[in-house]
Structure 1
Amino acid sequence: MHFQWYPGHMTKAKRMMQENIKLIDLIIELVDARVPVSSRNPDIDELGKGKARLILLNKSDLAVEACNDAWEAYFRQKGFSVLKVNSRQGGGIKSIQGVIREACKEKIERDRKRGILNRPVRAMVVGIPNVGKSTFINALAGKACAKTGNKPGVTKGKQWIRLNKNVELLDTPGILWPKFEDQTVGKKLAFIGSIKDEILNMEELAAEMIAFMEKHYPGTIFEKYKAEEMEDPYKTLANIAQMRHAVTKGGELDYEKAAALFIDDFRNGKLGRLTLEFPEEMK
């Protein structure tokens, strides 16, 4: 399966971000803690040259905690400020304001020397589709000021949000990049829901996910579904279909339905805490 999704509004969004970057002190980049490298848009590093940077490992409650710690250390080593957050339940949100001030301390100090006091830090919130930007902003602002949805591409335009007298946020649409050089990256983004499901073969995607889990998390599928794990992932999918009563009106196993259920269970954390890429692979 070939993975690619770059609708027209993303080109427009990227242009808008480039136009606004001169107004920005800090780039807050949300990544999915389960795939922290694959969920980073490589264009952001180019866009953010010379700006303070903060990486938020969002959905950290869905990833393996030891892996979250390892990724936090990995990004710190690369010079980023980093924080683990879980925007849906508010985990890590209280620490954000302090981390923003810390990430921008040089800018605040420069302002102070010039006699500019209390100028708010302006931060651009960026990330790929469905990584949780709007949920994060709502959790931080304490009210629903950004649209949220569990489909990629809900936020289409920019909006400024004033958190308090110290911080202003520029919310931006989720953007991917025109071509995945490595199709493994595209596959991982499909797993986490950052590529539109409608353009994917969900049975094939589920089979890929099953193969990954049987290699890295053996026994998890059996534990969840009491479905026997087979050497052929499609046979495991058939067992999941059987155990989840995914059948057509004619009584045949409904692979498509079973695949959608399985992928949803992964995305929602119902298979337990799972990390799909590891810092040691990056060396």
Structure 2
Amino acid sequence: MPDSLRLAVAQSTTRQDPTDPTALRTSGAEIRSLLKQSAAAGARLVHFTEGALCFPSKTIMSSLGPDEIGPSDWTKAAWPVLQEELDSIAKLSGELGVWTVIPSIHQLPDARPHNSMYVVSDQGKLVTRYDERMLSTTKITWMYTPGTTPATFEVDGFRFGLALGLDVLFPELFTEYDRSDVDGVLVSYCSVGVGPNENIAVQARGTAANNTFWVSLAVPAEPESGLVSGVIDPHGQWAVHGPKDATPAVVLTDLHKAEISAVGRAFRRRTRERIS
């Protein structure tokens, strides 16, 4: 197995109306363009933000709205178009030979959807799905069904965990991934309409340093958020980040096995066992 892996992380335009087929197709086209750029630059894995295809607005989806927030009416969403775009992204991943992590809403037959991250292999096949667990008050009250379990996957000998939305604020989720011997965690976070949120980057950097693994932070191209996409090394320092004017872009860096501290992980494990 190689001792390095080239990771691309994107910051892309976020649209908030899942009832608008044109907006969904525009988002899909932008994602595919960034995938092609990443593949041309040698990426093996490409990571996208929460809401990459759509970050549904609580007012647009409200069954009482748009002037009053209530339970989301998910029958309004253009589900067939959303699936077409996801299928097209998966097909392109296979054609380009890159792995893709693409967040989207996941429809459930008899419940509110999950807010999810899909992992697509370099063969264009769905490998796993992660559902956001630590939902915000708005999400849990009006919009989504929470997930219940972590998810991991491997690319070229590198093992990754997944975190979505407000998961980033809960250190215990990352401790759980540390115990699973991951080399990094891919965090997708969207703050459209709520900002600035520089504290999210602070949380992500602390998580990387505390667990001595890589953290990829994918966020929207949203100037008001105070955030940019990037990759944080196991020492908590930015290895690379996107343009600070928050324009749509993709940035790449090489992850190295040698920078992941097996000594630190063994120490944490021994200490936790001693005090448990």
Higher strand share: 2
Greater gyration radius: 1
Q: Structure 2-normalised TM-score? A: 0.31
Structure having the higher helix fraction is 1
